[in-house]
């Protein structure tokens, strides 16, 4: 999340003023996983249990009115049987995936997934004691597993669950997938703050708990529920391999069960269908949109030498000159420097192969529909298999080339490693919601910017505030400074520019260092000298250089707490 601070002390989100954008930005929806041990949701029961599906539907509608999107709802101890139809459990806009206990009474798990998230595949496990359902969502690159383990489950039964999860995760064969495991595990003796198994419980329960911790360690998984979910025990868990996915976990009493309902807020809204890996866009009115590595600096220097900077300075006030200088420089660069090309995410070498694959696939489907010659069908299938192999090889070659290029860049600039590693991250959004000082959930960008402004206003000052007292720099000075001591020569400017590192970040004006270093001769006399000279003489710094963007960094343990930034 990026917020900017202006001269009046106002912090705003992504350039929007925190004081005058009330209607400019629509509220951002927050999204959550919901987890509950429902203790039976049998729609055929004679008791009030049969109304639980209706109660869940009403809960979803109520939360939707609060701009709260729920992409997944997981329930354990559903007590359902195979003869009960999914239609009896239907909730509008949700898809049912379930694993029922086949022999004994009780048990069972169910996952409601939003219809906007296509379910790629699902698998179930039931051994009469423990149940699990594994759902894969390829559009999200996410696997969701719901698990129920009874308190008295033998170690062998829980080992079957662990092996089931290992097998299905390994079958995905893609480390970029997010793994989300949630359910009622009934391990009250695990201290999740330390991941230590405390005394109490049976030997088999301890062995099962140890097997879960080992599984989490092998798969690099973290558990995020630290609030008791039944009495004083943490029985319901949410485990994932993405440490930035969960922003907050809230446990609230529920009329549906004696377990607390877990509201696991996540950093993205999967129901929007937004491609989180889409190519970055560049602001056309920014130096960052230009590729200076392909620039012809001789042409830029020639253009800069044609400008009469002194006349340009005389045409405006000192406060206006920095902005005029920067905009003039940007206009020159825009006319001479190539623009950056946003990546498509797909190697160009694959385009021809993909088109050929599509044509062969269409031909194969047509042959099958009209019962074509079997030999002809087999021939097309062989060609299609060969195309798939060529695509796979082309992808591998493209990745190898990308890695070799990254290694060469890292040798010249070690900082390139971080941008290369970050390119593989699927997390692009860092702040989706906050708790303000009143502990209310805030999701609107303007409200979040205001909340951060209130929290950090003490470290900012308003230069126009009449209450600000000028600092007292009085001290005994043995030798008085003369104006000549503050004289800045062209050589001083050249030396300062040469001291800049090529990979240094741009200043508040956005002018890249590579431009300053390659055009230093054009800058040494003016306009930089004009700016420094007049700034020393007047004792002021133009407000143009006082604007800055503030990037808030958070600690992993407090994603949604303002005090954690």
Q: pLDDT tens, 538-548?
A: 888 888 887 76
Higher pLDDT, 461 or 416: 416
2 within some domain: yes
Count of residues making up the chain: 565
520 within some domain: no
Average pLDDT over residues 345-350: 56
Answer with the one of 390, 422, 454 that is the final residue of a domain.
422
Give the per-residue pLDDT at 308.
86
522 within some domain: no
Structure tokens, 504 = 């240094």
Answer with the one of 396, 422, 448 that is the final residue of a domain.
422
Give the per-residue pLDDT at 277.
36
Average pLDDT over residues 103-127: 93
Beta-carbon contacts of residue 156 (< 8 Å; ≥ 6 apart): none
To the nearest 10°, the Cα dihedral for 78, 81, 84, 88?
A: 0
Reduced 3-state DSSP string for 79-122: CCCCCCCHHHHCCCCEEEEEECCCCCCCCCEEEEEECCCCCCEE
Above 70 in pLDDT, residue 236?
yes
Residue 131 gets which letter from DSSP?
E
Which pLDDT band, with edges at 50, 70 and 90, does 157 fall under? very high
Give the per-residue pLDDT at 145.
98
Which pLDDT band, with edges at 50, 70 and 90, does 498 fall under? confident
Strand partners for 441: 435
Average pLDDT over residues 67-72: 90
Q: Do residues 1 and 113 both lie within one domain?
A: no
Q: Do residues 332 and 352 both lie within one domain?
A: no
Give the per-residue pLDDT at 431.
62
Structure tokens, 260 = 């607390």
* Segments forming the whole domain that contains residue 302: 287-336
Among 79-83, 97-101, 336-340, 472-476, the least confident range: 472-476
3-state DSSP call for residue 540? coil
Q: How would you classify the pairing of strands 441-442 and 30-37?
A: unpaired
Which pLDDT band, with edges at 50, 70 and 90, does 48 fall under? confident
Tell whether the torsion through CA atoms of 199, 202, 203 and 205 is positive or negative. negative
Residue 337 gets which letter from DSSP?
S
CB burial readout 154-177, b (16+ within 10 A) else e = bbebbebbbebbeebbeebeeeeb
109 within some domain: yes
Q: Do residues 417 and 442 both lie within one domain?
A: no
Interval 368-406: pLDDT, tens? 888 888 888 899 889 888 888 888 888 788 878 888 888
259 within some domain: yes
Give the per-residue pLDDT at 461.
66
523 within some domain: no
Give the per-residue pLDDT at 222.
94
What is the model's pTM? 0.61
CA atoms of 36 and 182, how far apart (whole Å): 10
Mean pLDDT of the chain: 82
- DSSP per residue, 245-264: SEEEEEEE--TT-SSPEEEE
Give the per-residue pLDDT at 2.
39
Answer with the one of 241, 268, 295 that is the final residue of a domain.
268
Which pLDDT band, with edges at 50, 70 and 90, does 196 fall under? very high
Q: Do residues 301 and 438 both lie within one domain?
A: no
Percent above pLDDT 90 for the chain: 37
Tell whether the torsion through CA atoms of 260, 94, 119 and 97 is positive or negative. positive
Q: Do residues 322 and 206 both lie within one domain?
A: no
Which pLDDT band, with edges at 50, 70 and 90, does 283 fall under? low
Q: Do residues 243 and 311 both lie within one domain?
A: no
Average pLDDT over residues 533-561: 73
Which pLDDT band, with edges at 50, 70 and 90, does 191 fall under? very high
CB-based contact 210:242 (threshold 8 Å): no
Higher pLDDT, 54 or 428: 54
CB-based contact 284:330 (threshold 8 Å): no
3-state DSSP call for residue 369? helix
CB count, 10 Å around CB of 453? 20
Most confident of 11-25, 235-249, 470-484: 235-249
Higher pLDDT, 156 or 453: 156
Give the per-residue pLDDT at 10.
38
Give the per-residue pLDDT at 497.
86
Q: Do residues 302 and 165 both lie within one domain?
A: no
Interval 431-475: pLDDT, tens? 666 777 777 777 777 777 777 777 777 666 666 677 767 666 666
Q: Do residues 211 and 250 both lie within one domain?
A: yes
233 within some domain: yes
Beta-carbon contacts of residue 201 (< 8 Å; ≥ 6 apart): 188, 189
Among 100-104, 203-207, 287-291, 545-549, the least confident range: 545-549
Residue 311 gets which letter from DSSP?
H
Q: Do residues 185 and 83 both lie within one domain?
A: yes
294 within some domain: yes
Count how many domains the chain has.
Answer: 4
Interval 297-334: pLDDT, tens? 999 989 988 888 888 888 999 889 989 999 999 999 99
Q: Do residues 410 and 557 both lie within one domain?
A: no
CA atoms of 518 and 522, how far apart (whole Å): 9
Above 60 in pLDDT, residue 276?
no
First to last CA, the chain: 12
Above 60 in pLDDT, residue 25?
no
Average pLDDT over residues 9-22: 38
Q: Do residues 197 and 311 both lie within one domain?
A: no
Q: Do residues 56 and 144 both lie within one domain?
A: yes
């Amino acid at each position: 999340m990026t917020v900017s601070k202006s001269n009046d002390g106002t912090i705003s989100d992504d350039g929007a003023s925190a004081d005058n954008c009330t209607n400019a930005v629509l509220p951002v929806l927050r999204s959550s996983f919901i987890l509950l041990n429902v203790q039976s949701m049998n729609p055929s029961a004679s008791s009030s249990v049969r109304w639980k599906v209706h109660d869940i539907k009403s809960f979803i509608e109520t939360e939707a009115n609060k701009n709260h999107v729920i992409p997944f709802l997981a329930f354990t101890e559903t007590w359902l049987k195979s003869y009960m139809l999914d239609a009896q459990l239907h909730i509008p806009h949700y898809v049912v995936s379930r694993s029922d206990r086949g022999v004994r009474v009780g048990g069972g798990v169910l996952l409601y997934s939003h219809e906007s998230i296509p379910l790629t595949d699902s698998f179930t496990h039931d051994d009469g004691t423990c149940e699990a359902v594994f759902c894969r969502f390829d559009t999200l690159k996410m696997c969701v597993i719901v698990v129920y383990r009874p308190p008295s489950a033998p170690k062998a039964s829980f080992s079957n669950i662990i092996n089931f999860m290992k097998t299905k995760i390994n079958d995905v064969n893609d480390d970029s997938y997010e793994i989300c495991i949630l359910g009622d595990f009934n391990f009250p003796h695990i201290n999740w703050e330390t991941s230590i198994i405390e005394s109490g419980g049976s030997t088999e329960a301890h062995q099962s708990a140890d097997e879960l911790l080992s599984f989490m360690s092998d798969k690099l998984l973290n558990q995020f529920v630290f609030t008791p979910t039944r009495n004083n025990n943490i029985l319901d868990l949410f485990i994932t391999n993405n440490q930035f996915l969960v922003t907050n976990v809230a446990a609230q009493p529920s009329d549906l069960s004696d377990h607390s309902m877990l509201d696991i807020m996540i950093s993205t809204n999967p129901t929007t269908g937004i491609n989180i890996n889409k190519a970055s866009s560049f602001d056309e009115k920014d130096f960052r949109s230009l590729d200076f590595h392909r620039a012809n600096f001789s042409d830029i220097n020639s253009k800069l030498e044609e400008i009469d900077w002194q006349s340009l300075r005389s045409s405006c006030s000192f406060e206006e000159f920095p902005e005029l200088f920067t905009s003039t420089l940007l206009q020159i660069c825009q006319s001479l420097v190539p623009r950056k090309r946003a990546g498509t995410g797909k190697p160009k070498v694959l385009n021809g192969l993909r088109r050929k694959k599509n044509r062969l696939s269409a031909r194969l489907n047509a042959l099958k529909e009209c019962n074509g010659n079997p030999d002809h069908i087999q021939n097309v299938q062989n060609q299609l298999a060969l195309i798939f192999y060529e695509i796979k090889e082309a992808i591998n070659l493209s990745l190898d080339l990308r890695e070799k290029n990254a290694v060469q860049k890292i040798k010249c600039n070690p900082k390139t490693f971080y941008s290369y590693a970050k390119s593989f991250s699927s997390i692009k959004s860092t702040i989706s919601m906050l708790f303000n000082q009143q502990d209310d959930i805030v999701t609107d960008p303007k409200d979040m910017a205001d909340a951060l402004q209130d929290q950090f206003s003490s470290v900012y000052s308003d230069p126009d505030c009449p209450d600000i007292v000028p600092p007292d720099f009085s001290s005994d000075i043995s030798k008085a400074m003369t104006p000549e001591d503050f004289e800045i020569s062209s050589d001083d400017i050249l030396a300062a520019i040469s001291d800049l590192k090529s990979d240094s970040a741009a200043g508040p004006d956005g002018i890249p260092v590579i431009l300053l270093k390659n055009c230093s001769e054009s800058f040494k006399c003016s306009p930089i000298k004009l700016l420094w000279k007049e700034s020393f003489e007047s004792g002021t710094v133009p407000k143009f250089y006082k604007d800055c963007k503030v990037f808030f960094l958070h600690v992993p343990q407090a994603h949604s707490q303002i005090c954690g930034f």
